[in-house]
Amino acid sequence: VGLRPGEKLVEELLVDEESGPTAHPRIFRAAAPNGMSLAEVERYLARLRVVVDANDVQGLLQLLCELVESYAEQRQIAPEVAGVAASARSVTINHANVR
């Protein structure tokens, strides 16, 4: 079948500064030089719940920019994504298994 347009053979999830070696040459360990405490993670999750409940796309993008240093906000949202976001009314999240 071959590659489709835009399809990648390799997906790089970490940059060199964010990873460390393991015993296996092709497996790397994610490093967290500026790791967050559990309390910080919980605060961000609470803020995330607020923007999701409000269907606040701009608030979500702002939060992503704060959380992910390498996140590059795209100025235009694909029409099919915008349509889904506009028609979405509620999301149910089961927090019982989240620790």
pLDDT digits (tens, 9 = 90+) for 32-76: 656 778 888 899 999 999 999 999 998 998 898 888 777 765 555
Strands 19-21 and 28-30: antiparallel
Q: CA-CA distance, 19 to 7, in Å (whole number)? A: 24
Q: CA-CA distance, 22 to 28, in Å (whole number)? A: 6
How high does pLDDT run on average in the chain?
75
Query: What is the SS3 assignment for 67?
Result: helix
Taking the model in full, what pTM does it have? Answer: 0.45
